[in-house]
Amino acid sequence: MLVLSGIAIIVAGFLLRFNPLLVVLVSALATGLAAGIDPPALLAAFGKAFNDNRYVTVIYMVLPVIGLLERHGLQERARALIAELRGATAGRLLLGYLFFRQISAALGLVSVAGHPQTVRPLVAPMAEAAAAQQSSDEERDEDVAAMAAATDNIGLFFGEDIFIAIGSILLMKGVLEGYGIFLEPLHLSVWAIPTAIAAFLIHGLRLLLLDRKLKAKRP
């Protein structure tokens, strides 16, 4: 039962709102020690896991660059650019981003955009600038920022399944094979297209309704 102590550490750490990375690290150490693994072997396992998944840490190289760009006025320039465009609305802008996000994810380019890379420094400020021309409601920015984040999530989630080499497709293939159902990744990808189209239409309608909501609050 001591091997399960790592789960208790994770639950307690998250409830106490400790640093998530520290909580997971302590949980892994406690689990390994409880299982009788030597500290050198644990350290070797951590090193191997980091090396095997080193591509995940690429984002740490991007974040400082984005921080410098924001400090030197990236968001302000994005807002000014949208403010100069006639007919630009928050809904139309996010609809265009949804289309781009789904197409790029369908091609396997899932890291081209995302919350830290594009939504926070570019897409959300641009949508907020467009919304400012549509409504004077003080709470509009929170709604628009939330919709910008949701747009990225939906575009990525329903677009990436069209790419045959994505992890979700391979996971579904493995699960189905466990139940004796053998399908090629291409078949799963093809049948993800109708779902992606439906997601685009449904969320696109939500974005157009956002424009109507902002217009209704115009003084």
pLDDT in tens, 95-136: 999 999 999 999 888 888 888 788 888 888 888 888 888 777
CA–CA separation, 219 and 216 (whole Å): 8
With CA atoms as reference, report the closest residue to 28 among 39, 17, 14, 18.
39
Burial of 89 (0-12, 13-18, 19+ CB in 10 A): buried
CB-CB contact of 156 with 110 (8 Å): yes
CA–CA separation, 169 and 187 (whole Å): 10
How close are the terminal C-alpha atoms of the chain, in Å?
A: 64
User: Could you give the count of Cα atoms lying within 13 Å of 185 in the half-sphere of its Cβ?
Assistant: 13
- At residue 60, the pLDDT reads 61
Stretches in the chain below the pLDDT threshold 70: 50-70, 72, 74-75, 83, 137-139, 217-219
- At residue 65, the pLDDT reads 67
- At residue 180, the pLDDT reads 86
CB-CB contact of 196 with 106 (8 Å): yes
- At residue 72, the pLDDT reads 66
DSSP letters spanning 50-86: HHHTGGGGGHHHHHHHHHHHHHTTHHHHHHHHHHTST
CA-only gyration radius of the chain, Å: 22
For residue range 150-170, list pLDDT tens digits in order.
999 999 999 988 887 777 777
- What's the predicted TM-score (pTM) here? 0.66
Q: Two tokens at 216?
A: 């209704």
Helix H segments across 16-139? Answer: 20-34, 39-52, 59-71, 74-83, 90-106, 124-134
